[in-house]
Amino acid sequence: MFKGWQSLIERISFSVFSIILLGLSSLLAFGLMLGSVKDETYDIQMFHLANETIRATKTVEDPVKTEQERQRAASEVTPVYDFDEEAAQNSAAVVRSVFDYALDAKEEAAKDNDNEKESPPDTAGQIADLRKKLEGLEESGGGFRLSDELLGMLIRSGNDDLVKVRDSVSEIVSEIMEQPIRDTALADSRNETEGRIRSLAIPAGLMPAAVEIGRSSITVNERLDEQQTEARIEHAKTEVEPTRILQGQVIVQEGQIIDREVHRQLELAGLLNENTSLRPVLAIGLFTLLIFWFIYRHFRQLEQPVHVKKKWLAITLVIYFLTILAMKLLAATEIDFNMALAYVYPTALVPFLLRLLTDGRMAILLTVLTAATGGILLQEGYSPVANMEIVLYILFGGFAGHYLIQGDGRRSSILAASFGVSAANAVFITFYLLMTQSHFGLQEWSFFMIAALGSGLLSGALTIGLMPFFESVFGILSDLKLVELSNPNHPLLKRILTETPGTYHHSVMVANLSDAACEAIGANGLLARVGSYYHDIGKTRRPAFFIENQMAGTNPHDTLPPEKSRDIIIAHAADGAEILKKNGMPSELVDIARQHHGTTLLKYFHVKAGESGKNVDEAAYRYPGPKPQTKEIAVISIADSCEAAVRSMKEPTPEKIEQLVQSIIKDKMNDGQFSECDLSFRELKIVADVICTTLNGVFHNRIEYPK
């Protein structure tokens, strides 16, 4: 599948390829995520019957209900009043002053009359004098205005009556003013004052004046403290909790009439078609852009061949979409999503797959991005913020998987890492329960522990199950696949062992040498080992023509011309590639079989052909190649030559082995066999040292035991 597109993809630059792929992926991810956070809406008409029960998909504040509750709380606030404690004394003093002024006016008039020895003083003059005195009292804020008729009553009354009425009325006013009098009770208080005055034995000519003076002296002595009252009202309003329509709350039951209040709540919750909000669309759009921008920047900075970057980018995106689908599957298991189900999500799937399929450097970044995505998708309904509980859960599980998974890709290693992830999940869940819940039962805790175990095991099971898919679709030779191919029970390895036992043991030695050397220079040691097992499988077509498989000293080349022997020996590289390809083996192993001799010269038969005196074309005695294209193949070619040469050496010593290894590497360098791979001089020296050390351990001097 992947190979069918390979030629087209190879012609496109990485920038164009990544923009196209990430652009399409972002649109797909946007659509998948938007469906999980966009509010469900309904086409509902007012005063119609509801066709179904409708619940709120999010928690929203109801401003109308909240304001009603605040007004109710404000109406229940007791107003604050200020009582004027001096008002009673002041009012009584005013009453006394009015009568005293009348007495003074009469006394002054009497004095003037004695001095002038005239007829009794003019009443009008006394009234005018009294009014003038009362106006002064009124201007000071403590008096009131009386009609001339009432003033005349005071002037015409006797002094004894004025004194008696003054004392009685002032006492009544003082007693009534000692009680709180508000605006609403002023009329009642004045009526009470009038009633008590009228019950006194007051001359009829003085009664109207006494009543009016008493009534006018009664004033409001308890006034509303607007500032304090308003402060209490505002405090009462702030104490009111906002009324909310809760997520999951039933707004209308099936068959219920959609009245104005229900319609208002549906509109408020954003459940009407005409009120669809664009905020979730914009939010998910921005989130998607961030996700794929991070992925793009990572691969732009990745130091790998372009074809590898393209392949790894495609793998990363496929894994990301697999996680989205897994999340949506969990979220869709129930109509009313139970958050506990989110803990079954395979937290370590991303790091497991990326560590086994790529160099693993993308694993941490994609784990973080996946956790953020899970915070949006794995939650109960729509929420304006990510579910941080799930974000942290996926992060901790993913990090545990990243550091626990072994690079060898063995199923046992994946299973062990899965149990480790389960343990990490369980620790996080226990931590979260202890932090957020004061009480939780054993049954609840046990359920979460089962979910944590399931998450880890599901991560491992999905990894093992998905590896063949990635290997076939993307042409990936994973460590897991290499481990499978290294099994001695593999049919091709059994064929090598049974048909060419000498070649098999030679291949095992080459595998040990190349594995150790590749690990020392940072190359893929496992690939080199497995490739070495199969590199000489072409010899199974003509086993007897290769010296390691010849028994009883019989060499068929002794009876063949050099040209025929040349063809047989050189053919084993192409034959091996053909056999591996025919059996569906990975292309990397096919390349190792074809390239491990590069274009080296078959010296023995070239020299033998020259002994006949004929003009021999050197090119005819060279392997067709191509030359090694990778470090692993170059190391295998060195290990192959060194192992064969040392095996044929008589009495090998460390010095002889070192000289031989250096000579072989030098010959290959001078022959240009490493010109098409990126093997450096420093790495060649390391390879030589490792091969010498390993060969010295194998071909060391042995004690000669007595017969």
- 279-333 tens-digit pLDDT: 778 888 899 999 999 999 999 888 887 888 888 999 999 999 999 998 888 877 6
The predicted structure's pLDDT at residue 392: 92
In a domain, 72, yes or no: no
Distances (CA, A) of 647 to 289, 509, 626, 639: 61, 10, 27, 12
The predicted structure's pLDDT at residue 706: 61
Instruction: Tell me the sheet residues that pair with 54.
Output: 252
Rounded Cα–Cα distance for residues 200 and 187 (Å): 20
Asked if residue 505 and residue 395 are part of one domain, the reply reads no
Asked if residue 198 and residue 87 are part of one domain, the reply reads yes
Tell me which residue of 207, 202, 172 sits closest to 190, measured CA to CA: 172
In a domain, 407, yes or no: yes
CA-based R_g, the chain, Å: 53
**DSSP-assigned states of every residue in 17-44:** HHHHHHHHHHHHHHHHHHHHHSPP-B--
Asked if residue 615 and residue 683 are part of one domain, the reply reads yes
Tell me which residue of 646, 644, 641 sits closest to 695, measured CA to CA: 646
Asked if residue 126 and residue 11 are part of one domain, the reply reads no
Task: Assess contact for 640 and 682: CB atoms under 8 A.
Answer: no
In this structure, which amino acid lies at residue 527?
L
Last residue of a domain, one of 178, 201, 224: 224
Which residue range(s) make up the domain with 580? 486-698
Rounded Cα–Cα distance for residues 515 and 536 (Å): 16
Task: Assess contact for 344 and 397: CB atoms under 8 A.
Answer: no
Grouping H, G, I as helix, E, B as strand and the rest as coil, residue 244 is strand
In a domain, 130, yes or no: yes
Asked if residue 197 and residue 87 are part of one domain, the reply reads yes
Rounded Cα–Cα distance for residues 270 and 62 (Å): 12
Rounded Cα–Cα distance for residues 136 and 159 (Å): 22
The predicted structure's pLDDT at residue 670: 94
Backbone angles phi, psi at 200, to 5 degrees: -85, 160
Asked if residue 215 and residue 101 are part of one domain, the reply reads yes
Asked if residue 497 and residue 471 are part of one domain, the reply reads no
The predicted structure's pLDDT at residue 13: 81
The predicted structure's pLDDT at residue 1: 46
Asked if residue 14 and residue 98 are part of one domain, the reply reads no
SS3 assignment for 369-421: HHHHHHHHHCCCCCCCCCCHHHHHHHHHHHHHHHHHCCCCCCHHHHHHHHHHH
Residue in the structure block whose two tokens are 């090119």: 619
Average pLDDT by stretches of 10, the chain with 707 residues = 57 84 90 71 75 77 87 89 83 85 80 58 75 70 74 85 89 90 89 91 89 88 88 89 81 83 77 65 89 92 84 92 89 58 89 88 92 82 64 93 81 90 93 75 83 93 90 82 90 94 94 96 93 95 86 79 91 95 92 95 86 81 93 96 89 90 95 92 95 86 57
In this structure, which amino acid lies at residue 124?
A
Last residue of a domain, one of 439, 456, 476: 476
Asked if residue 511 and residue 424 are part of one domain, the reply reads no
Tell me which residue of 51, 46, 44, 49 sits closest to 256, measured CA to CA: 49
Rounded Cα–Cα distance for residues 278 and 283 (Å): 9
Count of domains observed in the chain: 3
How many Cα atoms within 13 Å fall on the side-chain side of residue 564?
8
Last residue of a domain, one of 202, 224, 246: 224
For residue 131, give every residue at least 6 positions away whose Cβ sits within 8 Å of its Cβ, in sequence order, or none.
148, 151
Q: At 400, list the tokens.
A: 């545990």
Strand-pair category, 244-245 with 54-55: unpaired
Whole-prediction pTM: 0.62
Asked if residue 192 and residue 170 are part of one domain, the reply reads yes
The predicted structure's pLDDT at residue 590: 95
Tell me which residue of 541, 520, 486 sits closest to 683, measured CA to CA: 520
Backbone angles phi, psi at 257, to 5 degrees: -75, 135
In this structure, which amino acid lies at residue 548?
E
In this structure, which amino acid lies at residue 514?
S
User: pLDDT of 471-489, one tens digit each?
Assistant: 888 878 888 788 889 999 9
In a domain, 412, yes or no: yes
Q: At 429, list the tokens.
A: 């869940």
